[in-house]
Structure 1
Amino acid sequence: MANLGIVIPAAGQGKRMGAGCNKQFLQLKGQPILIHAVRVFQMSDYVSEIVIVGAENDLALIKELVDHYKLDKVVSVCQGGAQRQDSVRSGVLALSPAIQRVVVHDGARPLLTLKDFHRFLQEAEGFSAAIMGIQVKDTIKQVNNSGIVTDTLPRELLRAVQTPQIFERNKLEEAHMRAASVGYYGTDDASLLEWIGYPVQMIEGSLENIKVTTPEDLWLSERILAMREK
Structure 2
Amino acid sequence: MNKPLPDFWAVIPAAGFGIRMAADRPKQYLQLGERTILEHSLECFLDHPGLKGLVISLAVDDPYWQNLPCANDLRILRTAGGVERSGSVLNALLQLNALGVSDDNWVLVHDAVRPNLSRDDLNKLLAQLANDPVGGFLAVPARDTLKRVDKYGRVIETLDRSLIWQAYTPQMFRLGALCRALTNCLVSGVLISDEASAIEWSGQAQRLIEGRSDNIKVTRPEDLDWLRLCLANRG
In the alignment, is the contact (CA less than 8 A) between 2:139 and 2:208 conserved in 1?
yes
Per the alignment, residue 146 of structure 2 pairs with 140
> How far has the Cα of 1:98 moved from its partner?
2.5
The TM-score with structure 2 as length reference comes to 0.90
Is the CA contact (8 Å cut-off) linking 2:140 and 2:165 kept in structure 1?
yes
> Counterpart in 2 of 1:110?
115
CA contact (8 A) 2:13 2:58 kept: yes
For residues 100 and 191 of structure 2, the distance between their equivalents in structure 1, rounded to whole angstroms, comes to 25
Distance (whole Å) between structure 2 residues aligned to residue 156 and residue 126 of structure 1: 27
Q: Name stretches of at least 5 consecutive residues in structure 1 with no aligned partner.
A: none
- Contact kept? 1:17, 1:215, Cα under 8 Å: yes
> Are residues 1:48 and 2:52 paired?
yes
Instruction: Give ranges in structure 2 of 5+ residues lacking alignment.
Output: none
Q: Deviations over 1:140-187 (max 9, x none)?
A: 111222333222211111111110000011110110111111121212
Aligned amino acid, residue 216 of structure 1:
E
Structure 1 equivalent of residue 89 of structure 2: 88
- Matched with 1:17 is 21
CA displacement at 1:18 relative to structure 2: 0.7
Residue aligning to 2:73:
71
Structure 2: distance between partners of 1:192 and 1:19 = 31
| TM-aligned CA deviation for residue 91 of structure 1 | 1.1
Q: Supply the distance in 1 between the matched residues of 2:6 and 2:101 (Cα, whole angstroms).
A: 11
Runs of 4+ displaced beyond 3 Å? none
Paired letter, 1:57: D
Aligned pairs, number = 226
SS at match of 1:56: coil
Query: Residues 40 and 113 of structure 1 are in contact (CA less than 8 Å); yes or no, is this contact kept in structure 2?
Result: yes
> What does residue 30 of structure 2 align with?
26
Query: In the alignment, which residue of structure 2 is the partner of 1:119?
Result: 124
- TM-score by structure 1 length? 0.92
Mapped contact 1:89–1:173 kept (Cα < 8 A): yes
Kindly indicate whether the alpha-carbon contact (under 8 Å) linking 1:135 and 1:160 is maintained by their aligned counterparts in 2.
yes
SS for the counterpart of 2:64 is helix
Q: Aligned to 1:40, what secondary structure does the other structure show?
A: helix
Structure 2 distance, partners of 1:91, 1:66, is 21
- TM-aligned CA deviation for residue 188 of structure 1: 0.9
CA distance in 2, matches of 1:39, 1:200: 26
